[in-house]
Structure 1
Amino acid sequence: MRQALQRARYSEHLAALGKLVVDSGDPQDVLRQVPAIVAQAVEVDQAVVYLLAPGKATVTVAGGFGVVATESIGTTLPNLPDTPAGFVLAQSGPVIVTDYREERRFDVPPSYLASGLRSALSVPLSDRGQVVGALAARSSTPQRFGDPELRFLESVANLLGTCLQRAQTEEALRHSQQLEAVGQLTGGIAHDFNNLLTVIQGNLQVMADLPAVAGDAVAPSMVAAATRASRRGAELTSKLLAFSRRQVLQPSSIDVCELLHSLADMLRRTLDQRIRIRVEVADGCPDVMADASQLESALLNIAINARDAMPGGGDLVFAAQALGALKDLPPDLRESLLAGDRSAASGDVHYVRLTVRDTGTGMPDEVKERAFEPFFTTKQAGRGTGLGLSTVYGFARQSRGQLLIDSVVGQGTTISLVLPQPPVEMKSVSEVPSANGALAPGLRVMLVEDDAAVRAVARRFLTDLGCVVTACASAEEALRRLDEMTTAAAAMEAAAGTQPTGASAVPDCLISDVALGAGMRGTELAERIQLERPQMRILLMSGYSSELQEGEAPALPWDFLPKPYTRDQLSDALARVMSAA
């Protein structure tokens, strides 16, 4: 009868606890109330909930009932194997103490014995398979705990683990939604700015070449200052697009070992000599699939933050290792990767972890939680924009990877970039040929750009490069002009007594913006041109990846020229397209 009543009491308290977990929107409130429920159900003197601190070196008392003074709520205790809580966490399983006076597995705090405690039962708290804390019940009666109490505490621990997991998931969702909202705003602003900056930079470059400006005593320096300012504006716009995951990326296979050693060599020449830099790449570390220039920029951003965190010098370590297939990753990392790339669930995607580790000042929890927010910075005014880590975060997510941060105040920070491996058949970026040489004189180019000011700048650049330009404001106009040119050329060939084909009138290359107003898109125009006039080369321009429809970018076989661009960048891109096999 006593056992039946005991089981009924435990079931009643479990039901009450389950209702509390479901109804409460605050996990901290649940943690504070659980010890009283446990103590009342099991009829013991004390109950306490411990949670692992982020650095895992300490535990925090998250809730307690009848606890000793040294374990009041909010107290931080060392997470050592020879402490009661540390021993439970190290065991990762239930621990029963029959009598504290005879306990030899860990050091019993004198306050326990002074309070008259004799026995205890502790069980770990788990979240997604990882131990995150412990729940303990203590009694002044020796040998107080048996199987019924063990099953009850394990049920309570499972409920608490579910509560913590739900709270973490909801917080991650809220944070993701906030970042997405800011990303949409900044992405839209950056889109307009790219077109404006293309016009500003283009006209400044044209002005710099004018004889009247070159011969003036003041004008060249003024134009140069305006050019530098517009370049800084372009860099800021690029960071906004990186954070909002709307930049145009050109991913390729990158040799991680070569990249990290090259970056380390450069930083040794530029950083404080008191900062010791080393590279640790695991044997056989595979390549990663990412945009080479953006990956290098991301690692530089992290390294600069590490330098600022070590004003007196320290160790800066670049490391890389294979993580394995998606299915073998820790559950929380696997879920976050799937959230950014659902297509990864259907294939055997493998990942690589690149880490940048420093021995600097570290970050407190409140700073670490906001580290990826745009415009958030702990640096002095004028020392930073607050877009460093946020752009790295955006780049990682857009590259179908993840950015992780682990930091302990006074010990340093580790930033990890988790990126996918490339397909087996993908060539390394070092194996891709680059374009060399100038453009052939008289190159015939069809330019399609709906923004009149941008179109004028691009046309001037192409004319300066010796190209024969046919400029159009829409894809429909471009197709109509092509038909007219073909018809006219065929008529001339017939009059000259040759086989009329009209092929001699087809331009050598199409340069088109991706978004062309309300009409046909640049990608649709490129597909038509490729089908009907396969001899024409194609170069697309874009400053905003959302101009590309979902799933469109990875499959595009054409080169991109990001906005804003200079005359030299346009020349290089055009030469690369024309020299491609």
Structure 2
Amino acid sequence: MLTEGRPVIVEDYGRETRFAVPATYRREGLVSALSVPLSDRGRPVGALAVRSRQAKRFGDAELRFLESVANLLGTCLQRAQTEEALHHSQRLEAVGQLTGGIAHDFNNLLTVIQGNLQVLADLPAVTDDGFAPQLVAAATRASRRGAELTGKLLAFSRRQMLQPASVDVAAMMRSLADMLRRTLDQRIRIRIEVAPDCPDVQADPAQLESALLNIAINARDAMPEGGELVFEAAPLGAVPPELRRELEEDGTPPDPDGPARYVRIAVTDNGVGMPEDVKERAFEPFFTTKQAGRGTGLGLSTVYGFARQSRGALAIDSTPGRGTTLTLILPRPPDAPEGALDGDAVVETVPAGLRVLLVEDDAEVRAVARRFLTDLRCRVVACASGEEALRHLREVADRVEGGEGGERPQLLVSDIALGAGMRGTELAGAVQQAWPDIAVLLVSGFSAELLGSGPEAALGWELLPKPYDRTALARAIAKVLSR
């Protein structure tokens, strides 16, 4: 019945030749039977069987009745699974909101901790001490690990802002392989094959590493008895036809006759592989072949989303019994413009005496930011809310118009989440409308999601994520002013 996907009627077990009749059936006196498939979305997942001690007990009427019951059970099964997926999604959304909020508050704390540590490290009492710099350095490293943790929380809650950069694929693969050799099953051999001419890729380094880790974990689960895990990277000669449509959707269609400006990253295992129906659904959220409680079904769907958000693509090739290859295609970095500034030179591009209006509702974060700006030789006016900042700007404008003197700020640096008052995006919009010559830099411990909707989204403000240090702030200011 399961093989052919259709009902089976047994008129008499004593004369049955299609299959071996279990001895227990005969001992119980069972003579005839009727079985129909129990289906889920057209796929047989079980059987509904009825047996009788009478010969030829089941005919067309019983068959139609049992098929109706099977259809009803199949509908109930689909509904139960859909409701469970919905509840799962709602739980994840609730946890996502919670972790996102925690990460936001924690990033404010880390900004204060890291900022004060950086200021402390420059004090003569610390630099002249033989032991104090080591303590400050250890605390700084710990705070950076805390920042990495909040980054993971924000990634889980889908509130992480991707920050693409040029990534050395070979170096990342070697680092990841070293970690996996210590954590995966010792029976899994790991091999790296990177082409000598493999260029960097343009992607968020943390999210790329997370994507490769997700793929590696799936590969481990597909090799319960051990096997080989191969990481490969090479320049992509031409975009495969099956992926060209996805890349064209990004508005930058690849030239089918020219060299593709992409890098191919592949992760291959020789595990159990996937049948066609599993492979077709592998990127669907919540789809998993693992036992309940052992997987969320979000691993490959998250990798797929990362690839698409990074203007790339993800492909899967798998054969049952022979293994699986996940291929991640990512763009190369754009050509660097001539005279591009490096991280050390960018600090010098912040002009001395730059007039800055700082808006931050957290007093301790505000103090750290003000100290950083002062160290960068800026002239700072600090406000605790958007409303206070607007009042200050209007007062300055009135004094200028009245001939009393006064200088308008050249740069607005504002947190996005400003307590119960107006958001930083609202403040930036009002400032840009009334005083378009004031540059805008927004700061957030949360995500780019607050910039992702509404009329403010198209304005393209620069966003500095928390926690940040003095160099990161200087780099962001220089980038804003260069526009």
- Give the SS at the match of 1:417: helix
Matched, 1:267 2:176: yes
Q: Does 1:520 align with 2:422?
A: yes
Distance 1:460 1:413, change over 3 A: closer
Separation in structure 2 between the aligned mates of residue 94 and residue 313 of structure 1, nearest angstrom: 41
**CA distance 1:360–1:561, change in 2 (3 Å):** farther
- Aligned equivalent of 2:468, options 565, 571, 574: 565
- Structure 1 partner of 2:288: 405
Alpha-carbon distance in 2 for matches of 1:408, 1:359:
21
Alignment of 1:181-260 (within 5 A): 181-245=94-158, 247-250=159-162
Change (3 A) 1:407 1:518: closer
How far does the alpha carbon of each residue in 1:127-182 deviate from its partner, in whole angstroms, 9 at most, with x for none? 33433221122345554432211111111111211222233233334434444444
Which deviations, in whole Å up to 9, do the C-alpha atoms of 1:100-151 show, x marking residues without a partner?
5665655554554565555432222123343322112234555443221111
Instruction: After TM superposition, give the deviation of residue 428 of structure 1 in Å.
Output: 6.0
Please tell me the residue identity of whatever aligns with 2:470.
Answer: R
Q: Say whether the 8 Å CA contact 1:306–1:360 is kept in structure 2.
A: no
Quick one: which amino acid aligns to residue 128 of structure 2?
Answer: G
Change (3 A) 1:115 1:579: farther
Question: 2:415–2:444: 8 Å Cα contact kept in structure 1?
Answer: yes
CA distance in 2, matches of 1:260, 1:121: 59
Gaps of 5+ in 1: 1-87, 280-286, 326-353, 362-395, 496-501
Q: Supply the distance in 1 between the matched residues of 2:19 and 2:192 (Cα, whole angstroms).
A: 39
The 5 Å alignment of 1:261-410 reads 264=173, 267-268=176-177, 271-272=180-181, 274-276=188-190, 292-293=204-205, 295-302=207-214, 305=217, 314-316=227-229, 402=285, 404-407=287-290
1:379-437 per-residue CA deviation (whole Å, 9 max, x = no partner) reads xxxxxxxxxxxxxxxxx9xxxx835433379xx99942254546999x96834979734
CA positional deviation for 1:206? 1.0
Question: Is 1:539 equivalent to 2:441 in the alignment?
Answer: yes
In angstroms, what is the RMSD of aligned CA positions?
4.8
Give 1:385-534 correspondences, 5 Å limit: 402=285, 404-407=287-290, 415-417=299-301, 419=304, 421=308, 430-431=333-334, 436-437=341-342, 438=346, 439-442=349-352, 443-486=354-397, 505-534=407-436
* Alignment-mate amino acid for residue 470 of structure 1: V
Q: Residue 85 of structure 2 contacts residue 286 of structure 2 at CA under 8 Å; is this kept in 1?
A: no
Q: Distance in 1 between matches of 2:336 and 2:412?
A: 21
**Quick one: structure 1 residues 311 and 143, their matched pair in 2 at CA, closer, same or farther if it must change by over 3 Å?**
closer
Distance 1:94 1:509, change over 3 A: farther
C-alpha distance in structure 2 between counterparts of 1:90 and 1:295, whole Å: 43
Write the mapping of 1:51-62 to structure 2, written as runs, cut at 5 A.
none
Provide closer, same or farther for how the CA distance between residues 562 and 105 of structure 1 changes in structure 2, counting only shifts above 3 A: farther
- Whether contact under 8 Å (2:311, 2:331) holds in the other structure is no
25, 35, 42: which is aligned to 1:122? Answer: 35
Name the CA shift for 1:413/1:549 in 2 (closer, same or farther; >3 Å). Answer: closer
* TM-score (normalised: structure 1): 0.57
Shift of 1:203: 0.2
Between 1:99-108 and 1:311-320, the stretch displaced more is: 311-320
- The one-letter amino acid paired with 1:480 is R
Tell me if structure 2 keeps the 8 A contact 1:302–1:356. no
Question: Contact (CA 8 Å) 1:99, 1:118: kept in 2 or not?
Answer: yes
SS in 1 for 2:79: helix
Matched residue, 1:167: 80
TM-score relative to the length of structure 2: 0.67
The amino acid across from 2:431 in the alignment is I
Cα deviation 1:308-345 (Å, max 9, x = unaligned) = 878985334789986999xxxxxxxxxxxxxxxxxxxx
Q: Distance in 2 between matches of 1:408 and 1:158?
A: 26
Contact 2:444 2:465 (8 Å CA) reproduced? yes
**Larger RCO: 1 or 2 (CA < 8 Å, sep 6+):** 2
CA distance in 1, matches of 2:11, 2:179: 62
CA contact under 8 A between 2:112 and 2:364: conserved in structure 1? yes
Maintained 8 Å contact 1:514/1:547: no
In 2, distance between residues paired with 1:127 and 1:92? 12
SS of alignment partner, residue 414 of structure 2: strand
Q: Distance in 2 between matches of 1:260 and 1:122?
A: 56
Match of 2:235 in 1: none
Structure 1 SS opposite 2:300: strand
Give the letter aligned to residue 295 of structure 1. Q
* Uncovered stretches (5+) of structure 2, i.e. residues with no partner: 194-200, 233-239, 247-264, 273-282, 313-329
271 and 199 in structure 1: CA distance in 2 versus 1, 3 angstrom threshold: same
SS of the counterpart of 2:382?
strand
- Structure 2 counterpart SS, 1:512: strand
Which residue identity is paired with 2:289? D
Q: Which whole-Å CA distance do the structure 1 matches of 2:111 and 2:90 have between them?
A: 31
Amino acid at match of 1:190: A
Partners of 1:104 and 1:317 in 2: CA distance:
49
